[in-house]
Every structure is written in C-alpha cells, then in structure tokens.
Amino acid sequence: MAILSIKINSMIKINKGDGMKIEGLQYQLANGNWMDCEERTDDFLALCVKYGKVENEIAAIEKLLSGKTMRNDSADWYSNCRVKPAPRPVVKAEMITCSCGCTIPRGIVMNTSTGTSCPECFDRMSL
C-alpha cells in the first residue's frame, strides 16, 4: 500500500499507510515541562490509546490534533501527551526616535515637559 504523508504545519506530520503515525508528539515531565517523543512516539501513542479512553490510534491522533492533551499513565498527574505547538511568530516592536535623539521601542517612550524621552534621558529632560 502506498504511503500518504500529510504535513499539518512545520511541526506535525502524519504518515498514512497501513496505519497512521504522527511526528511532533510530546510528553510531559514530572516538573511540567514538555519533551519531544522522537523515536518513542509509537510507545507513547499506544499509552494514549490505553489510558486516554479511545478505541484506536486513529481516534487518539484525531483527539490530539484537535488540541487536546491525552493521559499516557494513570499513576502520575503529569502523564500527558500533546501535539507540539507551532512556534509563535516574533513580533518586532515599532521603533521611534525621541526628542532626546535616542531610538527606542514605542512601548517605553516617556513624555516630558520638553517632548518625548527614553528612560535613560528622562531625568535630564524633565527639568
């Protein structure tokens, strides 16, 4: 049977062939941090089916892709799996030039009696 590979975003990849396989699965550590399953993905997916109250791996993958976390062990509070979230886009701050001549992000501009100022020049300009 031919394998169909679907890439959801840069982090999630599903291979459909004789079965389904998901890449980009993460498990939760006892300290709350998330780690990539990598080569242990199949093991964690099987645990998600066992403890996640779903019928099979396809149902587990569908539930994970919907954004839900699934249990992979009943003994530990932090025994969860999830699909790796997409990286957040970097938002660049709008830069402006103050009356003092400094170029700084718009969010930290201070108003003085003689115009605008950066925090470093504020005391000198407010007199």
pLDDT at 8: 43
Angle between helices 41-51 and 57-65 (to 10 degrees): 90
- Least Cα distance to 8 among 49, 52, 62 occurs for 62
- Residue-wise pLDDT for 35-64, tens only, equals 988 888 888 888 888 888 888 888 888 888
Distant-in-sequence contacts of 66-73, Cβ < 8 A, 24+ apart: 69/28, 72/27, 72/44, 72/47, 72/48, 73/47
pTM score, two decimals? Answer: 0.55
How far is CA 110 from its chain centroid? Answer: 34
Domain extents in the chain: 4-83, 95-125
Highest mean pLDDT among 5-14, 22-31, 95-104: 95-104
Give all strands (DSSP E) within the chain, no chain letters. 4-7, 13-16, 20-23, 25-28, 34-36, 70-71, 80-83, 95-97, 103-105, 110-112, 115-117
Torsion of CA 102, 105, 111, 114, to 10 degrees: 20
